[in-house]
Amino acid sequence: METRILNWIKRKPKLELSKNDDTITKIAKIRGIKEEDITDFLNPSEDELFSPSELMNVDKARKRIIQAIENNENIVISYDPDADGITSGTLLVRYFRHYLEEDKINYIYSQREDGHSVLEQLIEVFGDSEEAEKRRKLNAENLLKVSKADLVIIADSSSNDIEGCEMIKDYSKADIIVLDHHEVSNGGVSDLAILVNPQQEGDEYPNKHLSGCGVVLKVLQRVEEKMKKVNLDQYYDLVAVGALADMMDMTIMENRYMVMHGLKNMNNMGLIRIIKSAKKNPDFLRGDDVGFTIAPLINGSARMGQIELPIQLLLSDEDKEVKSIRLKMNKLNEQRKQIQAELTAKYEKEVNINDKVIIISDTEGNKGFNGLVAQNIAQKFQRPTFIVREFNGMMAGSGRSFGGINTQELLEPLDYVKTQGHAQSHGIDFPADKLNDLRDYLNKNMPDLKSKEPIVMYDFEIEADKAYDYTEDIDTFNYITGQGFPKVVVRINDVMVEGRRVMGERKNTIKFTTISGESNLELIKFMVDEEYMSHIGFFDTVSAVGVLSMNVFYNFATKVTTRTPQLNITDIQ
């Protein structure tokens, strides 16, 4: 396996450092956090929350929801097929269970492969394949539910889905509420639905980076100001999962509070089952436990065409049922990992390193994996990436940006390109015969890349024998990371390797033990083949960059807990 060497660049401090700064202060200044703001940043309070009344149309949505509750109306919730959409829909269903009988609450969904709008959940399906027949049956069931609804609430999608909302109006007398956070074009569906979305023109809500589940929570908080029956704090766990899975900006203090509060108050039985099965303690969760444990399991089922499993998991309060569903989801996620690895390896061979934006076309690709694989490639080659496939003369797919570049805005001048989603994570559609034109446009208009080779930014350097002393402070900052606030990365120079071990069922984890004084520092690399850095021998001296944390291991036989500083390797030389 080719080992790709990165360019290591030290992050320039945003605030002036002092030789007397402790580690916490040093990290804060490097990231632009003033000394007086450190405590609030690391431990945000409820005071960081904005009033839900500042959301445009929130009182219209509130009035209509209260009317539905008081009149015992039939409500249908539309789920979007990703972790933020699934937590958003679950929050709504669970909320209405406090007020209405089960038969008054229903939900609809589509599989991830079929798309993200309510139209995809209702549209007529043609074709003779088994997949077409399954989708035809599901959409017919969805349409029947909608036809009986008094109120349809669409969560985490469809701000611009005029055709989908018109279809609802054609088949029912239901009112429509859209609770979303994606970009809105030309007023979106505001003439057909009550649209609550901080992205829409005229909305003055200060936090433009709410997740879909965050928008749902805000609207329900406004409802509860009158209803006064439900303690919505119990649902912050769902909001935390939605925000972290959808990569919301973690420099926004409101987002930080909601995520931290959710991580410290896990109530949902399905989430707790996932956490415990991964041998994590639900009372001591970190943001990584969502990013590496919860979100992949939820999204994995959706990508594998079984979104109904995570929906059932998060709606169930029966432990036996939850255990059974979690096992099925885990099997699907293992299949997802294999497909993702194969697609990533395949597409990496097609990358033109001279292109400022990578566009890969594959007629046999899996639509549900486009964004995920694009993210892998964008991170590795450090430039925006789109994965598309051709159908009926059109290219359609998903992409991920890199380095904060707003690819939606970059593509806006092209009248033949349509995008939908977030500024840096969105779908894309364009005529197949425009592919070369699109590449030429992006190469001319994308900001120049600093380097054709990938880089890794690190915050500061430490000595290997002092690693133990740094981990607690670094862990404090890395407790919640994400968009806008990436993990703190350190560089460790001239550490002597004592041993190399291949680990894991798939033989895809490599651990180096080192001679590093009393710190007993370990270097570890996940998701590589067993030949990774096999040329490094005993007593070789290496330097490495990566995320430093404390690996805590409890030996049940000896009842002894060991604590070992461990560097999760980004690159090693």
CA distance 480 to 533: 31
Closest CA to 89 of 184, 211, 248, 195: 211
Q: For residues 49 and 378, which has the higher predicted lDDT (pLDDT)?
A: 49
Q: What is the pLDDT of residue 424?
A: 73
pLDDT digits (tens, 9 = 90+) for 505-521: 878 899 999 998 888 89
The token pair that represents 284 in the structure block: 């001591």
Q: How many CB atoms lie within 10 A of CB 225?
A: 12
Query: Are residues 512 and 365 located together in one domain of the fold?
Result: no
**Residue 222's domain is classified under what CATH number?**
3.90.1640.30
Q: What is the pLDDT of residue 452?
A: 58
Task: Say which DSSP state 249 is in.
Answer: B
CA distance 90 to 70: 21
Residue where one domain finishes, among candidates 196, 213, 232: 232
Q: Domain of 497?
A: 7-31+459-572
In terms of Cβ atoms closer than 10 Å to its own Cβ (0-12, 13-18, 19+), residue 188 is: buried
Span 486-505, average pLDDT: 92
Q: For residues 568 and 2, which has the higher predicted lDDT (pLDDT)?
A: 568
Q: Which is it for strands 75-78 and 460-462: parallel, antiparallel or unpaired?
A: unpaired
**Residue 552's domain is classified under what CATH number?**
2.40.50
Q: What is the pLDDT of residue 5?
A: 60
Query: Are residues 490 and 561 located together in one domain of the fold?
Result: yes
The region of weakest confidence among 229-233, 249-253, 312-316, 367-371 is: 367-371
Q: What is the pLDDT of residue 254?
A: 98
Residue where one domain finishes, among candidates 232, 247, 282: 232
Helix (H/G/I), strand (E/B), else coil: 30? helix
pLDDT at 467 over 70: yes
pLDDT digits (tens, 9 = 90+) for 30-54: 999 999 999 999 999 999 999 999 9
What is the CA angle 43-44-47, rounded to 5?
Answer: 145
Q: What are phi and psi of 177, to 5 degrees?
A: -120, 130
The token pair that represents 451 in the structure block: 């380097």
Span 556-561, average pLDDT: 75
Q: What is the pLDDT of residue 450?
A: 60
Look over the chain and give the mean of its residue pLDDT values, rounded to a whole number.
91
The token pair that represents 512 in the structure block: 């180096």
Closest CA to 56 of 214, 176, 218: 218
Q: Within a domain: residue 186?
A: yes
Query: Are residues 85 and 212 located together in one domain of the fold?
Result: yes
Q: Within a domain: residue 43?
A: no
CA distance 550 to 498: 19
Span 186-193, average pLDDT: 94
Contact 326, 274 (CB under 8 A): yes
pTM exceeding 0.75: yes
Q: What is the pLDDT of residue 481?
A: 92
Residue type, 84: D
CA distance 277 to 552: 17
Q: What is the pLDDT of residue 128?
A: 84
CA distance 71 to 549: 54
Q: Which is it for strands 75-78 and 194-196: parallel, antiparallel or unpaired?
A: unpaired
Q: Within a domain: residue 127?
A: yes
